[in-house]
Structures are given as C-alpha cells and as structure tokens.
Structure 1
Amino acid sequence: MRQQAWYTGRFATFGMSYLGYTQWSIMAARYDSPRYNYSDAEKRAAAREHAAAVVLVGPHNFADLVWGTGAMWLAAVDWAGATQTMGQKGIARAMWDMVQLTRNPDGDVETKRGVPLLTAVERRFEEGSTLAWLREHVKGSREQIQGERAREYWRRMDQSRALETTEVPVLLVGGWVDVFVRETVKQWRRLDERGVTVGLTMGGRSHADADQDMREMFDWFETHLAQKPDAKRRPARARVQVMTTGPDANKDEWKWFSSWPPANIQPVHLGLAADGQLLFPSDTPSQTKTTTDTASFTFDPHHPTPTYGGDLLFGGGYVDDSALADRSDVLAFTTPPLSRSVEIHGRPRIELLHRSDNPHVDLFIRLCGVEFKSGTAVSRNICQAYQRLDPQRGVGASGGGKTTVKVVLELSDCAHRFHAGTAIRVVVAGGNFPHYSVNLGTGEAQATGTVMRPATHTVVLGEKEGSRLVLPVLTVE
C-alpha cells in the first residue's frame, strides 16, 4: 500500500469469519521479525498505520475451536467438503452446498460417525491439500494445542498474540448463538483488561445469518480512521440484544452497557433437585433432607445424543429442542413457572457433583427457556457448554471417574429475559453429536480408536448441598 499514490499512511480493516481471523493475523504481526528489517521508528510507524478494525464473528484461534473442548469439532468435515467442491466444481457449487448445510446442519453424518474416524475421513476425501489439513485436524487432541508442547501445526493457527500486543481500536460484532461466541467475548475481555479502545455488539445471530449494521461500522471508522470531530460516537462500549422467553419473544430489546458483563449482576443459585426440579433458594424447603438424591443416565456412543441447534457453523441458532428433555440419555431440570421476570447477563455456570462408571466421558450442558403452549412445555436453547472430562479425575481407591467430584463448567455468554409464567431449564447429557465427536468410552485416540463402550453418569442432587446452576441475574438498572 505504501507504494500507491492513494495511500494516506493509515488504513482500516473490516471482515467476517475467516476475514476476521485475517485481521487478528495482521494485528499479531511481529514487526521486529527479520523479515521486515525495520528500524525502531519504522516499527512504531507500522503499528500506528492500522487505525481501526471491525471484526465480525471472527476467531483468533482455530486450534481452540477444533480441539479446545477435548472432543473434535466435526463441522471441520463439512468445511473440508465445501473446499474440496470449490476446487473441483467451482465456487458457485460450493456455495450451494453450504446453503444446503444451513438447512441440514448435521452435514456428512456418515463420515462423522465413522470408527475409526480417520479411516472414514480418508475414505470420503481424495488425496490432496484438503485431505492433508483435515487429516491433521482429525489426528489432533486437546494436549496438542496447548502450552509449550503444542505442535507447530496448531501454533500457526493461534493469533492470540494480537490480544496481548495490539493497540488498534477494535469493534467486535458477534452473536449469542454464533460458533465463535466464546472467542468474541474472550477478545473483548482481554482488550478491555489491557485498556485498548474496544467496542462490543452482540446480537441474536448464528454464524450463518450474521450481519452488520453498516452505520455502526462507518461510525467506528469515522471516529478512529478519519478522526472526524463530529463523528457519531457510541453512547457506551457494549451494545447487546436481550433475547426473550415469553409472549414478547419477537420484541427483543437492545441495551447499552459501559462494561460486559454489566456491573450490576447478582449470582443466583438454583438447585438441581429430585423429579427434574430446578429450585430457586426461595423454593428450597427449610428442612434439609437427611438422604441424598441422585439422578443417572447412560450415554451410548453407538447411539449418541443428537444435536439440536446452538452455536453451529452451518444452520443452528435458536430451535425447539423440547425433544432433548424426553430422551433417556438426558437429564432435564426445570423451574416451576416464574412468578416474576428474570433477566440474566453474562456467563451462566453449572456446578455438578458428578461421577461415572467409566472414566472416559463428556458432558454437554444447555440452558433453555420454556414456554407453556396449550398445556405443552416448549423449550428453546439459550447457551451451552461442552467438555471432555479428565479420566484421572477423582482417582482413588475406586478408580478414575467413580469417585464423586465437583465439575464446574461455564456456559457461553448470553443476555436473556425469562418472562413471568415461563420456566428455566438446564439439560445435562453426555454428548452432542454431530456437533462434537463422540467419546468412545475407551481412552483410545479419536482418530484411530475402534472400540466403543457406554458410560453411566450419576449426578448428586439436593436443594442446598447438591449440584446447582448459577445464573448472572441483572439487578435494578
């Protein structure tokens, strides 16, 4: 750009998804690298030239997306299919295939269900660049992407350095049910901690329907690139869409906050109780029970718990997931109809007292809103968490997994209002397929394992001392 007559010495960037990732790559550039051969003055000048960035649903670390939960993110198989089609049949056909994936987000289930998974992938794809990178993805693991021992293949995908070094004013635009929702909020938090100029806009978007208020982007550029004194500035740093469960579900409200999550948040603990109850402290009996209730379910990797919407790459979003609560491999805990509205902002958390007869297990947690229509409870997803547990947890006389341990999982951020008359539900399961690869139940590598074994999960209940859901409830504004 410096060699062009039109270049003013300052530039801004804008882009979504992978073009968001490329912006983080630019901001992570090491200007002290020998490849640049810059003087100290040139290094400082280069850093200042990037005047503003607008990152729309863009990740900074693909490695964490693929293996960060400990299970493989299987949408990589569908993305590989689209890129291979693009190379063979052109971009128009590839785009058509991706449109079909938004309608059928499960994608290539046959390949994803394959055991061994690597064999199924190699059978599905022709030799070439697409299979080469997908093979590396399938052969990965959480251990390969973390810390000093991370493989070079995965380190190259991590642009986290940008979060630690950039001074570029960044506007982050994300979605509550976007595949990169956690990355977007992580970007916000770290830049905010460092005192970097950063704005956040979070709406009820999935990745497939992400859009951008162009006026908001231009205002950001006029402020930080053009440096216009009369530029329209944001009234506050964080703008979020409050989704709703209840009669006004189509009247979602936008709110401005000086921080995210807002300062006026109070954690409220709801106990997971017998008979599928989810109880507020005010609902808890004054007499503590002398016996301990438990609830159990069995996850069978041959017949895994299915995916219903959520933060997917293709399709997903908010869906009717009522069928989850009716499954034998799922535990569902639901409050009585609320006597007043409850509004939550931030990251819900679940604290499970958990054990399993097989140490090799995953946990899938989902928060839902429930409406009652003609006597029928209709559930829709809000936010969720997925984690492959450490098989060595609770190792003792009874062996890994069999000892009851406290498992704490943070769900993704949300802004949601439950109207009076609706209910809050939390779902506990052992899988979410084909969003994530199934836990084989044997400890074998995901890529090459051939044997699958079921696992029975047990959750300790109790209104006061058992497992609980912690909600970030908004107090008086």
Structure 2
Amino acid sequence: MNLVGQIVDRILGLPPARVREAAIEVERNLAIPMPDGAVLLADRYRPSGRAAMPAVLVRTPYGRRGLGGAVFGAAYARQGLQVVVQSVRGTFGSGGEFRPLHQEKEDGLATAAWLRAQPWCDGRLATAGLSYFGYTQWALGPYLDPPLEAVCLGVTTSEFNSHHYPGGSFALHGALSWSALTSLQEAAPLGGILLGRRQARRTAQAMAHLPLREADTVAIGRPSAFWQDVVGHSEPGDGFWAAADHSAAVAGLTSPATMVTGWHDLFLPWQLRDFRTLSDAGRTARITIGPWAHADLPALKAQILDQASWLRAHLLGDAVPERAPVRVHLQHARSWREFTQWPPPQSTPTPLYLRQDGALDWRSPPSAGSDRFTYDPADPTPTVGGPLIDGKNKQQDNRAIEARPDVLVYSTSPLQRDLDVLGEVRARVHVRTDPGHADVFVRLCDVDERGVSRNVCDGILRLRPGSPPPGEDGAVAADIEMWPTGYRFLRGHRIRVLVAGGAFPRFPRNHGTGEPVADAVTMRPCLHEVLHDPAHPSHVLVPVLADGDR
C-alpha cells in the first residue's frame, strides 16, 4: 500500500488493509443513463482479479475525486469492498440540473438497476455515506426490490423539511451556508471544503440582508436555485417538499441499518426519529451518538469505521460486532453507555419549573408570577454555539447573550451531586405576545462554578395568530421540541434555562408582521410575557437518568 493510503487509513482509524493499493482497479467516468436521457458519472473502485462482487453505492453532490474518492472509494476498496462513487445529477460532470432533494429517488432507482445489470456486479447492493449522501440512501432503500444488503446512514435524515423549518421557523444559517457551498464548490479547492474566510464573511453578512430572497446574490454574486426553493417555500402548508419527504417509507426499509450522529448534529432529532421508526417496526438497526457536531473529524472517523465494519459484515461475511442497538456518549462523564432502545427507559422526564426572580427548580408549579421582555427585530437576539453546519458550534459561552434585556434567565441552586440526563428534552412556555407573530426560543445551559454558562440543547417555535390557539386570557402554551441530549451536570454546577424571542442568525429574525420569510422587510417589536403560575406552569422536561444507570 502506498504512503498516502496508509496515512488516510491511519487518520480514519481503519483496521489494516486487506488489499494492497497496487491491487485496486479504478475505472473513471462510468456513464450511467437515466430514464430522461441525462447521464450521471461515477468512478468504480474494486480489488483487482475478482469475479463479480457486490457493490457499495455512494451517491454524492460533493464530487467523486479528492476526499470523496479517497475516503469512500479507495479506503473502502482497501477493506476488500467494491465501491461505486456517483456524482448526483447536475454536479461534477453529471448531466441534468442539480435541484437538491427532488431527483434522488428516480435517479437512485435507475442507478441501482444499471449496477445490477453489470457483469462485475453479482446483483447484491449496499449503500454508504453521510449527510446529503445519507439522504440519497433514504430516497432509494425503502423502494428498491430486491432490497439492499445494508445501509449506512451517517448524520442524516429521511427528510430535510423538518431541518429546514424547525418549529415552523427557518434554518437560515444552515440553508444559506449550504447554498454557498454547493454553488461554489466546483471552482473551489477540495471540492468546496475550503471556501475561505472571505467567503465565510460574505455569507455571514448575507444572513442579515433583507429581503432574504436576495441573500444568495449577496453571498455568492448570483441566485442559487436551492436557496430560492428553500426560502420561497417556507410558509405553513406549502407542499413543495412533499415529494422529497421519505419519512413515511422508513418503516418499510428491511435492510440492516447502521447510523452514526452527534449530540450537536444538524439532523439529530430526525435521525433519532428514523431510528425509532425502524426499531418499532422490528427492523435490524443500530445507532451511535457521540459528542460531535456535523462536520467534526472525530465524527467522520467514527462513521467511516462504523460503515466499513457494517459493510464487511453484510457483504463479505465478517462477524457483526456485538453491542446494544443504542450506544451513546454521556458528555462530561467521559463514558459510553449502551441501551436497548431510544429513548432509554431508564430516563424519567422530570419538569424544571420557571419561577419568580430568575429561579428554576424541581418543586411543584410556582404560586404566581410573570416576566416580560421586548424582542426587536432591528436588533435581533443573537445566538452562539449549538448544532451549526460550520463556525463556532457545539458548546460556547452564553454569558453575553444572557446579559441582554431581551433574554430571560432562570437558574437552579448549585447541584449537590452529579446529575445525568439522557433522552428527549421538551419545554412548555406559557406566553402572551403582542403582536401575535413571535418566536419563542428556549435553551438549556450548564453553569460552572466560575459562572460560565455553556449551552447544552435548545429549540424554537414560531407563533402565529391562532396557532397555537390562545386561552381565554390570551396566553398560548408554546410546546417546544428541543434537541435530545446525553449530558452530566457536575456537582456544584447550576442548570440554567434562557428564554428569548429569537436566535439570530441560526434562525431569521421574526419581523412581527406575518410577512413571508422570503420578502419581509418591515419590522415591528414584539412584547413577550412569560407566565409561571399554577394555571401556567412553564417548565422544561429534563430526562433524568436513574441513579443505578449512571
């Protein structure tokens, strides 16, 4: 094996190669026809001198060469696998127009049929990949007959709609960053992985531009079809993305599935939903959740190792490593835990109640009280950290944000012992807003002995007049799905909940007018009144892990 291959395998943490580099055949630019006449290009990697073998299909919008070929092509071939890395429609030489998410089912099915007809393929297929090319597996796997031998789903989900519009808001930071990446990647080094600080600044500045419909031109100098799709179809009831939603087909996937994600990943809540759907349907599935964000190198290494072992087991006859279906990292406990299901039955959802004077505790609902703040879209409440696609993500210091007058902060007393939380996190905040167009953003934080407040997980809900329906007193119960987590709050630390009217630029400012996200320019401040009394017990449900399972 040459030196480059050795270095790549060592970086990825792969086991010793089964095939020497010199014994790997590479066939470039395979032309795979689609039913509409478009031709998609692919590269094939395989151990030389073999008869017909199973094939691993990797469908990516990020290019077949460079890291894509080195990681998913050559590295897997050194493990004894035959791999076909295909550029999806409209990218890196493949014909047609790239309209993300909309063409992957038809193109995937046509590619699978073509592969099975090739003399070097024995008819058995598996799929691998992460992020967007994890999604391409969901667009293919549930619909293919005969089924895939295995699927390998890294940091992905069966539908991106929920990610684009979490809580009825809009994933501004993620959508515009990805639009810039995919629009510029073919002219950028390493297939767009390194776009540079100057472009990052341009994209960040474009997030503040109004109207948002023009943000793509500000960021990259021209319109982006994906950006126009995602910002132009962000209002409730828009059925534009229905054909790209494969969540209803998840239970029909009979292929053995392995998943890897991170506590700070963009798609975590929805990947866990997919896993639970498979589990409830009795399918063979496993998931690993580490202390990672979407593009972390440790996350990539974990996914490559996980997928290589899964593919070898289901295509080459290796033993499947024995482990529980759910394997998670408990952050700040420096330990991994295994469970039979998600969410773990050992966790108990326990309410933490918001109280007067910034208090937060486990006791029964408070006797009385409310707090107010004004959210001004001309000076939108910022956010730091969390599940961002790039930049300073994961845990960051929140103190500067918590000191703002448009943020409410509630904290417990110092913990008398370590507290482990593992599972789904939800909030119910009773709130009155004026006007009725408003956002409610809730974040759970860990405050250490020095007072540094670091985010653990969060969520947002966009309120519209009549949705959710108000009570007789005008208050609405805002039910907010927050990111799941596995976390140890250490003894002496405090748990903190912050409530705000936004989290910019992760989500766009709420203009307070009800104008569509794409075209809103008028701004109207919004008064928020958060209630916490017996009739309005605002709280966060925290999944407390039983003492015996710590």
What TM-score results when the alignment is normalised by the length of structure 1?
0.83
User: Does structure 2 retain, via aligned residues, the 8 Å contact 1:116–1:447?
Assistant: yes
Please state if 1:237 is matched with 2:314: no
> Counterpart of 1:134 in 2: which secondary structure?
helix
Match of 1:331 among 390, 408, 417: 408
Cα deviation for residue 70 of structure 1 reads 2.0
CA distance in 2, matches of 1:110, 1:216: 38
Query: Match for 1:110: what amino acid?
Result: Q
Match of 1:369 among 439, 446, 455: 446
CA distance in 2, matches of 1:160, 1:176: 21
CA distance in 1, matches of 2:493, 2:219: 46
User: Does structure 2 retain, via aligned residues, the 8 Å contact 1:82–1:98?
Assistant: no
Within a 5 Å distance, the mapping from 1:9-408 to structure 2 comes to: 9-29=123-143, 43=145, 46-47=146-147, 50-74=148-172, 75-87=174-186, 89-92=187-190, 94-97=192-195, 108-122=203-217, 124-127=219-222, 131-145=224-238, 150-151=239-240, 154-209=241-296, 210-213=299-302, 214-228=304-318, 231-244=319-332, 252-281=334-363, 289=367, 292-315=368-391, 316-373=393-450, 377-393=451-467, 403-408=474-479
User: Does structure 2 retain, via aligned residues, the 8 Å contact 1:351–1:468?
Assistant: yes
Cα deviation for residue 453 of structure 1 reads 0.4
Instruction: List per-residue Cα deviations over 1:374-404 (Å, max 9, x = no partner).
Output: xxx0111111111211321476798xxx711
Cα deviation for residue 233 of structure 1 reads 2.6
Cα deviation for residue 116 of structure 1 reads 1.9
CA distance in 2, matches of 1:429, 1:107: 27
CA distance in 2, matches of 1:457, 1:450: 21
User: Does structure 1 retain, via aligned residues, the 8 Å contact 2:231–2:517?
Assistant: yes
Match of 1:2 among 116, 125, 132: 116
Against the structure 1 CA distance between its residues 396 and 2, is the aligned structure 2 distance closer, same or farther, given a 3 Å change threshold? closer
> Counterpart of 1:64 in 2: which secondary structure?
helix
User: Does structure 2 retain, via aligned residues, the 8 Å contact 1:342–1:417?
Assistant: yes
CA distance in 1, matches of 2:420, 2:526: 36
CA distance in 2, matches of 1:7, 1:264: 46
Match of 1:437 among 508, 525, 531: 508
- For the aligned residue pairs, the C-alpha RMSD in angstroms reads 2.5
CA distance in 2, matches of 1:441, 1:311: 25
Against the structure 1 CA distance between its residues 90 and 269, is the aligned structure 2 distance closer, same or farther, given a 3 Å change threshold? closer
CA distance in 2, matches of 1:256, 1:113: 43
Against the structure 1 CA distance between its residues 271 and 69, is the aligned structure 2 distance closer, same or farther, given a 3 Å change threshold? closer
What is the match of residue 88 of structure 2? none
Moved more, 296-305 or 68-77: 68-77
CA distance in 1, matches of 2:242, 2:267: 19
Instruction: List per-residue Cα deviations over 1:114-168 (Å, max 9, x = no partner).
Output: 22221444455555xx6223112221124244xxxx12xx223322244132111
Query: Match for 1:382: what amino acid?
Result: V
Please state if 1:469 is matched with 2:545: no
Against the structure 1 CA distance between its residues 440 and 51, is the aligned structure 2 distance closer, same or farther, given a 3 Å change threshold? same
**Higher relative contact order (CA closer than 8 Å, sequence separation 6+):** 1
CA distance in 2, matches of 1:466, 1:278: 12
Cα deviation for residue 273 of structure 1 reads 0.8
CA distance in 2, matches of 1:6, 1:469: 56
Query: Match for 1:73: what amino acid?
Result: A
Instruction: List per-residue Cα deviations over 1:43-78 (Å, max 9, x = no partner).
Output: 4xx22xx11111110222122221243222112222
Cα deviation for residue 346 of structure 1 reads 0.6
Cα deviation for residue 413 of structure 1 reads 0.9
* Identity fraction in percent: 32
CA distance in 2, matches of 1:156, 1:457: 37
CA distance in 1, matches of 2:151, 2:469: 48
CA distance in 1, matches of 2:190, 2:305: 30
> Counterpart of 2:122 in 1: which secondary structure?
coil
Cα deviation for residue 225 of structure 1 reads 3.0
CA distance in 1, matches of 2:271, 2:487: 18
User: Does structure 2 retain, via aligned residues, the 8 Å contact 1:361–1:391?
Assistant: no
User: Does structure 1 retain, via aligned residues, the 8 Å contact 2:374–2:528?
Assistant: yes
Against the structure 1 CA distance between its residues 394 and 6, is the aligned structure 2 distance closer, same or farther, given a 3 Å change threshold? closer
User: Does structure 1 retain, via aligned residues, the 8 Å contact 2:445–2:497?
Assistant: yes
Cα deviation for residue 326 of structure 1 reads 1.1
Query: Match for 1:332: what amino acid?
Result: V
The number of residues matched between the two structures is: 429
Unaligned stretches of 5+ in structure 2? Answer: 1-114
Unaligned stretches of 5+ in structure 1? Answer: 32-42, 245-250
Against the structure 1 CA distance between its residues 393 and 131, is the aligned structure 2 distance closer, same or farther, given a 3 Å change threshold? closer
CA distance in 1, matches of 2:518, 2:335: 45
User: Does structure 2 retain, via aligned residues, the 8 Å contact 1:300–1:454?
Assistant: yes
Cα deviation for residue 301 of structure 1 reads 0.4
Against the structure 1 CA distance between its residues 100 and 63, is the aligned structure 2 distance closer, same or farther, given a 3 Å change threshold? farther
User: Does structure 2 retain, via aligned residues, the 8 Å contact 1:274–1:462?
Assistant: no
Query: Match for 1:198: what amino acid?
Result: A
User: Does structure 1 retain, via aligned residues, the 8 Å contact 2:188–2:195?
Assistant: no
CA distance in 2, matches of 1:404, 1:464: 10
What is the match of residue 51 of structure 2? none
